[in-house]
Chains A and B, each alone.
Chain A
């Protein structure tokens, strides 16, 4: 889980000073790709809704009409979006390199999240242990400092957090969380 410290830009500005999501102009290609995916997904869903409708009968006010209307709307809006993206792509607006997102950390976080969910549900590891491991792991992914500098701090916070959640939920609120291997 170790990860080299990413060099930080000198004197980074406060988060929203730089650019919030409202201002992050996605690269024209990303918008184009999103438009294509949206149109494809819309068409697939629309066809499926139509097939189900043809199967069970389409009546105004029946159960198949809302899916057809919504997926149809999806296709129309997605095509409109794609058209605006094609226009942006043809204008070829360059994007500053600094604002380009990195996908490594979110992808690793997703993998960790899915693993966490499966461990919680299907193994005997238990809530507290699984949460501590997940917490330390995800904090490390989100950190720009090396693991050895923060492991003690992260572990302590993780243990306190997961124990507090576990005890307050199971003992005070009566929500069952998996106890697992720890004698809790």
Chain B
């Protein structure tokens, strides 16, 4: 039980008063920010990145991140249920039945099944993660450059095919991200690319700048362009008056969807299939089809909240598998976390577990701690958090702009970056209006440079022989899968009906 011993060491590193404080701050701030309508975990982490990076301590930062992430997920499901404004596409499935439950006065049961389901899923899948990480890292060591290239391509293509209403728009968004990833000095030769003579562009475009622009500024401008249609203040349906446990019937209707959602979420998260969107919808559809209370679906069936919420949280642990062992992010949130890693000069991948083993185990231990703290600290405070939803919209979005500017300015101190974030925000607003998905742009930005490096490395090792990409069976399989993912666009069409209520992107 090597993994178990390592995990115990991880707990030893995490369970210091200072780290527990970081975790508590993380879940609290994460919940607060994540609860704001239209703001999902990716943006929450991006906005809080400058704060967390100031800790100067990778362990502390990662613990805070774990807390922020789980807090943001919890906050996001609360907003989805009470306001029907999911902050990311992964919460859309939750909002379908959750909002209906809230409308019928069952908001507390919906919130409770979401919170406990998330907890159950997160704990189970973190245990799985504990035992999968090491074998996976051993396998990852055998990956060659051509495999990495093919894997990154597969991740990009599948996310693009799965997210959003049309593949052409998804590909356009992806291409935009790829282009942003090219800007700057070429790492291998030192040549400047698309810097347009601006000195500060030589370092490339910071991921934080792009994320803040795409999500925070873009969302605010989008809201600003639709002011006439929106109420001044969002009114949550039922300001919960204390945390009530689920009724016996609710428990018995929830626990199976929790486990099934968990079983769907983890493998889909671990595959390069675009994080949580697919498993949450699969879980929703499965529960709908299987349920003995099928007639309740559409009017607030608790299974429809329990399953997708569990799948959503489970997929995050799954996403961590390729992120930690291969350095491949398969969701926007994972992409932001990869950016955070790079600030500490840590490069996730096969070597991470070898070189920084204690840190990885501390991260995994902190996932457990973050979950327990979230349930213990935040669940009883639900009535307090719900007040956040009552902040008038102008105050909320002005605050988001202040934080967005601060986030970029504090990281770089560079006005070009700030203006760039605004410009990207403007583009993101137009993307929202024209129905372009946001997530592929982020993945293009992160995975593009990685793909290019691996492609060139593979060619270098093969003396410029392109057949390296078809000679190696693993590479070939991954490339064929990528082609298949593009050729099978029919799957997302099944979900198009449910996708109607998306208000943000992961």
* A residues neighboring B (CB under 8 Å): 6, 8-9, 12, 14-26, 30-31, 34, 38, 45, 48-49, 52, 56, 60-64, 66-67, 70-71, 73-74, 77-78, 80-81, 84, 98-99, 101-103, 105-106, 109-110, 113-114, 116-118, 120-122, 131, 134-135, 138-145, 150, 153-154, 157-158, 161-162, 165, 169, 173-177
Would you call B241 an interface residue if the criterion is a C-beta within 8 Å of the partner chain's C-beta atoms?
no
Please state if A141 and B405 are interface contacts (CB–CB under 8 Å).
Answer: no
Is A175's CB under 8 angstroms from B50's CB?
yes
* Listed residue (A6, A121, A142) with the most chain B CB atoms within 10 angstroms of its CB: A142
Q: Given A6-B228, A24-B435, A154-B394, is A63 in contact with B189 using a C-beta cutoff of 8 Å?
A: yes
B85 within 8 A of A: yes
Asked if residues B397 and A142 are in contact (CB atoms below 8 Å), the reply is yes
B residues apposed to A, CB below 8 Å: 37, 50-51, 54, 83-86, 95, 165-166, 168-169, 171-172, 175-176, 178-179, 182, 186, 188-189, 191, 193-194, 217, 220-232, 234-235, 392-395, 397-399, 401-402, 405-406, 409-410, 413, 415, 418-419, 422, 426, 429-430, 432-435, 448, 452, 455-456, 459-460, 464, 466, 499-504
How long is the Cα–Cα vector from A109 to B221 in the complex, in angstroms?
A: 8
Q: Is the CB of B503 within 8 A of A105?
A: no
Q: How far is the CA of A64 from the CA of B191 in the complex (A)?
A: 9
Report the separation of the CA atoms of residues A71 and B194 in the bound assembly, to the nearest whole angstrom.
Answer: 11
Given contacts A138-B398, A161-B399, contact A113 B405 (CB under 8 A): yes
B84 partner, pick from A12, A14, A64, A144, beta carbons under 8 A: A14
Q: From residue A119, how far is it (CB to closest CB) to chain B in Å? A: 11
Check if B54 sits within 8 Å of A175, measured CB to CB: yes
A22–B418 touching, CB < 8 Å:
no
Q: Are A26 and B433 in contact (CB-based, < 8 A)?
A: yes
Chain A nearest CB from B387 CB (Å) reads: 15
B445 to chain A, nearest CB (A): 11
A134 CB to nearest B CB, Å:
7
- Whether the Cβ atoms of B228 and A77 lie closer than 8 Å is no
Note all chain B residues with C-beta closer than 8 A to A6: 227-228
B425 to chain A, nearest CB (A): 8
Evaluate contact between B194 and A63: CB separation under 8 angstroms. Answer: no
Instruction: List, in ascending order, chain A residues with CB within 8 A of B466's CB.
Output: 60
In contact, B433 and A143 (Cβ under 8 angstroms): no
B232 A145 Cβ-Cβ under 8 A: yes
B499 partner residues in chain A, CB cutoff 8 A: 22
Do B434 and A30 touch (CB < 8 A)?
yes
Residues in B neighbouring A12, C-beta threshold 8 A: 229-231
* Cβ–Cβ contact B501 & A84, under 8 A: no
A and B contact pairs by CB, cutoff 8 A, 24 listed: A14-B231, A15-B85, A15-B503, A16-B503, A26-B435, A45-B194, A49-B194, A61-B459, A63-B189, A70-B178, A77-B171, A78-B172, A101-B226, A102-B226, A106-B429, A109-B220, A109-B221, A110-B221, A117-B422, A134-B401, A138-B394, A143-B393, A144-B232, A173-B54
- Which residues of chain B come closer than 8 Å to A142, judged between CB atoms? 220, 223-224, 227, 393-394, 397-398
When the two chains form their complex, are residues B395 and A157 in contact, meaning their CB atoms are under 8 A apart?
yes
Assembly CA distance A2 to B83 (angstroms) = 30
Shortest CB-to-CB span from B396 to chain A, Å, is 9
A34 close to B189 (CB less than 8 A): no
Q: Quick one: closest A residue to B453, CB to CB?
A: A66
Interface contact B433-A114, CB-CB below 8 Å: no
Q: How far is the CB of A84 from chain B (nearest CB, A)?
A: 6
A77–B172 CB distance below 8 A? yes
Residues A62 and B224 in contact, CB atoms below 8 Å apart: no
User: With A and B bound together, what is the CA distance between A134 and B404 in angstroms?
Assistant: 13
